Amino acid sequence: MDLYLPIQFKMDEMALQEEIAKRVELWKSDAFDQESHEAISILEKQPDELAEAFYKDLEFGTGGLRGLMGVGPNRMNRYTVGAATQGLANYILERASSPSVAIAYDSRNQSDFFAAVAADVLASNGITVYLFDELRPTPLLSFTVRELNCIGGIVITASHNPKEYNGYKVYWEDGGQLVPPHDKGIITEVRKVDSPVKVKNGLNSELVKAVPAKVEQAYYAMVEGLLKLPKDHVGKKELKILFTSLHGTGITMIPKALENAGFSNVHILASQASPDGNFPTVKSPNPEERSAMTLAMEEADKIQADIILGTDPDTDRVGMGVRNVKGEMELLNGNQAAALLIHYLLAVMRANGESFKGRFIAKTIVTSELLKEIADKEGVNCYDTLTGFKYIADLIRNLEGKERFIAGGEESYGYLIGDEVRDKDAVLSTVMLCEMAAWARGNSKSVRELLFQIYKEVGMYRESLISITKKGMRGAKEIQELMNGYRTSPPSEIAGSKVIRVADYLKSTDKDLKTGASVNIDLPSSNVIQLWLADGTKITARPSGTEPKIKYYVSVKAKAEADLESAWNTVGNRIAEIEKDLGL
């Protein structure tokens, strides 16, 4: 039996149970350790949990692995990590002589252990490993791959998932996450590793080396080189910043990066400063969720901070809070923060007399069109990519020597400035968001006032994101059926506005429902549906690639009226109408 062969939903219940039983018996064999045997014994008293852990393999997708930690082929454990790494090693050795790989890990439970497992397997295959001796942010790994000329990199992280999860992200030599053809090539190799016997380990520990200190120093120098304001700028001295790392890796670099940039009034939320994989003060360490930022908002009011910033466990995402017109702390969404960042960078570049010729910004297809409006106003190219920062990294690589990247953003709190890192970077973004706030302050504006100025100049956009969780075998099937429904029988009208366009990124077609005309979408195929309404609303449905969720993105544009606050509320009401009609 193939240990890693996925089981399809078409199997009847009896066949499925038989297959699960075979898999359980295999994991109870001598090929697996006593700890696994004991864990299976416990699960056998919980049949549903046992089935979830063994009914399929933890899929090595285009970004790597992510799943619950535990025993079984559908869980993150030493065997699934070992098999994934052996497949990666096999792929690398077919393409390079004397290759090296960098490995980083975050604060999650077992992250350091999984990093050590991966390092051991790679070294046992004759591959030099540069392993961080302490937890560090994901963007530093991307930078390290490039700085040390590695053929690839691995980060052990489940990003912002709940504490029960962990993951394994793979990077290629450009410092970006896997894209074609390497993603599919590595997946093919991983699937060939159908037994623990095929995984090499314990052979060449001398090939595991520490990442040189000069790499981190070079990263800090890179950040300083991208600063737009002098370190003694008055806004930097006055701006009162509260930072929370949400028990993650941000605490290891962001305070120093802010200090290096000239920010002296920085406060750290002590209750969330200690790296801790149990994330004791939050339900989920996700700065996109208000509950994760509650303690920071409360502390900000106590110390009267101007802004708050919070990063996820591996520090590739950052959330931001600012004061509203009532002086209350209000969280911005990812679209707003990205718009502010892009507007700031372009405005300062223009003021400094820098040319925009041959320069571009990038965003994902689910990110607000507000970014494109800002770029259009300045005469800067704006390119769309599929969801996932790896596609922005791939775009940067494809345009090298032709156009130069300024910055990019995605609605899920990920941003990047410059091209030295090839993934979303919350260390650098935190510094630059603080610069944006200091610049606004130097121009006698709050961040909120700057945002509404942008709305007044190019139009008001408001977005919402609703994630619906559907766990397990049944949930995955329900998500598949929902997407098939939108694909084959899209609604004709939503909340009183006709559906006039359907963009199916799986089929790479964008169809005008009024004329029947269809154009090709020049992006890789992806399971995404976008519905465009006659009033300009854009609605996107997309299953998550890393969680058992289907995500709905709703974006509404309105003319910025004289009373901006009133217009903002009106757009919010329109979003509520659309969500209700969609049954969300």
Separation between Cα atoms, residue 526 and residue 545, nearest integer Å:
10
Distance in angstroms (rounded) separating the CA atoms of residues 310 and 286: 9
Q: Which of 458, 477, 495 is the last residue of a domain?
A: 458
User: Of 176, 210, 244, which closes a domain?
Assistant: 210
Q: What is the pLDDT of residue 318?
A: 98
Torsion sign (Cα): 39, 282, 138, 381: positive
445/483 same-domain check: no
Q: Yes or no: say if 53 and 72 are a contact pair by the CB < 8 Å rule.
A: yes
Looking at residue 558, its pLDDT comes to 83
Same-domain pairing of 201 and 240: no
Packing angle of the helix pair 47-54, 34-43 (nearest 10 deg): 130
Whether residue 11 is predicted with pLDDT greater than 80 in this model: the reply is no
Largest Cα–Cα distance in the chain?
73
Examine residue 219 and state whether it is found in any structural domain, yes or no. no
Q: How many domains does the chain have?
A: 3
408-436 core/surface letters (b: 16 or more CB in 10 A; e: else): bbbbbbbbbbbbbbbbbbbbbbbbbbbbb
139 and 249 co-located in one domain: no
The first and second tokens of residue 174, run together, are 């450009």
* Averaged pLDDT, 151-178: 95
Q: Is residue 226 part of a domain?
A: no
pLDDT of residue 10: 47
> Nearest to residue 59, comparing CAs of 172, 190, 199, 158?
190
Q: Are residues 533 and 556 in the same domain?
A: yes
Q: How far apart are CA 441 and CA 425, in angstroms?
A: 24
Residues 202 and 241 in one domain: no
Residue at a domain's end among 210, 226, 261: 210
In a domain, 221, yes or no: no
Is the residue at 178 inside a domain? yes
Model confidence at 553, in pLDDT bands (50, 70, 90)?
Answer: very high
What pLDDT, on the 0 to 100 scale, is given for residue 363? Answer: 97
Quick check: is 119 in a domain? Answer: yes
pLDDT digit string, tens, across residues 264-309:
999 999 999 999 999 999 999 999 999 999 999 999 999 999 999 9
User: In the predicted model, what is the mean pLDDT of residues 530-534?
Assistant: 93
3-state helix, strand, coil in the chain (%, to 5): 40, 20, 40
- Residue 224 falls within a domain, yes or no? no
CATH number at residue 543: 3.30.310
Q: 296 with 423, same domain?
A: yes
Q: How wide is the angle at C-alpha 366 spanned by C-alphas 347 and 485, nearest 5°? A: 165
* Averaged pLDDT of the chain: 93
Given this model, what pLDDT does residue 109 score?
97
Check if the beta carbon of residue 410 is closer than 8 Å to that of residue 387: yes
Does residue 216 sit within a domain?
no
Distance (Å, whole) CA 93 – CA 319: 40
501 by DSSP, 3-state: which? strand
pLDDT band at 546 (very low <50, low <70, confident <90, very high): low
* Same domain (yes/no): 257, 405: yes
Q: Dihedral sign, CA of 534, 536, 542, 548?
A: negative
CA distance 233 to 123: 48
The residue to which tokens 């709703």 are assigned:
554
Range of the domain at 552: 461-581
205/110 same-domain check: yes
The alpha helices in 261-413, defined as continuous H runs, are 290-303, 334-351, 370-378, 389-399
| Shared domain check, 381 and 349 | yes
Same domain, 402 and 494: no
Q: Confidence class of residue 480 from pLDDT cuts 50, 70 and 90?
A: confident
pLDDT reported for residue 78:
97
Residue range 14-32: mean pLDDT, rounded: 91
| pLDDT tens track for 54-93 | 999 998 877 789 999 999 999 999 999 999 999 999 999 9
- Whether 445 and 465 map to the same domain: the answer is no
Question: Is residue 360's pLDDT more than 60?
Answer: yes
Distance (Å, whole) CA 556 – CA 389: 24
Q: Which residues pair with 553 in a beta bridge?
A: 465, 540
Strand residue runs (E) in 374-480: 381-385, 404-410, 414-417, 460-469
**Active site (catalytic) residues:** 159
* Helix spans in 70-181 (H): 78-93, 111-124, 138-147
- Taking residues 376-392, report their average pLDDT: 95
Residues 6+ apart with CB under 8 A from 456: 560, 564
Alpha helix ranges (H) inside 226-360: 234-238, 254-260, 290-303, 334-351
CATH of residue 335's domain is 3.40.120.10
pLDDT at 568 (0 to 100)? 84
Are residues 244 and 378 located together in one domain of the fold? yes
Domain assignment present for residue 225? The answer is: no
